[in-house]
Amino acid sequence: MGTRGFVGIKRKGKIGGKYNHYDSYYSRLGKEVVDVYFKNKFLPYLEEKDEEYDENAEFLYDGLFCEYAYVYDEDNDRLEIYRGFFNKPQVFSKGHIGNEEELYTHLIFIVDKKIHSKKDVLKAFEENEKANDDSFKEGTKPEQYPERKVINICDYCFKIIPVGKMYCSKECERNAMVREI
């Protein structure tokens, strides 16, 4: 069985894209997408992909089956990295419909080639692989983002921020606390 995922594009805030059936994890599809992103060849890459284009990106929000997703933010020339299988919704999550145990896709980190190198991204991928080896086996993946030790975003508003902080501002920290309650 393949590791399913999604490769898409965000235009004016709206995401559309294509389903990917096999090897969607970081070390395979992730590396491939990062490579075309840094070569400015994401658009032809997505076009060539042999799946139907879904303008509503439904599979992206299916946190049970969509294990990894890569979305090119065309307006900002950035690459967004997502993972599924989270127990709690994130701000943008729609969750999986028709499943007792709802699982969600989260935005993990955002790559900006004006700030980050390809090496940074691969290092962020490795942090995830190191952290999740055991929890995958147990089926209890923790609600955390080890990738953010290398490339960090605000946990509330998703702005790119320096490593080590959780929020970009006091305001985001307060908003996040309200959200928890």
- Contact positions vs Zn ion (CB under 5 A): 154, 156-157, 159, 168, 172
| Nearest approach, Cβ of residue 37 and Zn ion (Å) | 24
Beta strands in the chain (DSSP E): 5-11, 14-20, 53-54, 68-73, 78-86, 104-112, 152-153, 160-161
Q: Which parts of 15-164 fold into alpha helices (H)? A: 31-38, 42-48, 118-138
Min CB(116)–Zn ion separation in Å? 18
Nearer residue to Zn ion within complex by CB, 104 or 156: 156
Which residue, 57 or 168, has its beta carbon nearer to Zn ion? 168
Q: With contact defined as beta carbons under 8 Å apart, do 180 and 169 qualify?
A: no
Nearer to Zn ion, 79 or 153 (CB): 153
| Closer of 3 and 169 to Zn ion (Cβ) | 169
**Least CB distance to Zn ion at residue 73 (A):** 17
Instruction: Retrieve residue 51's tokens.
Output: 């799946």
C-alpha to C-alpha distance for 112 and 105, rounded to whole angstroms: 21
Q: How far is the CB of 48 from Zn ion (least distance, A)?
A: 36
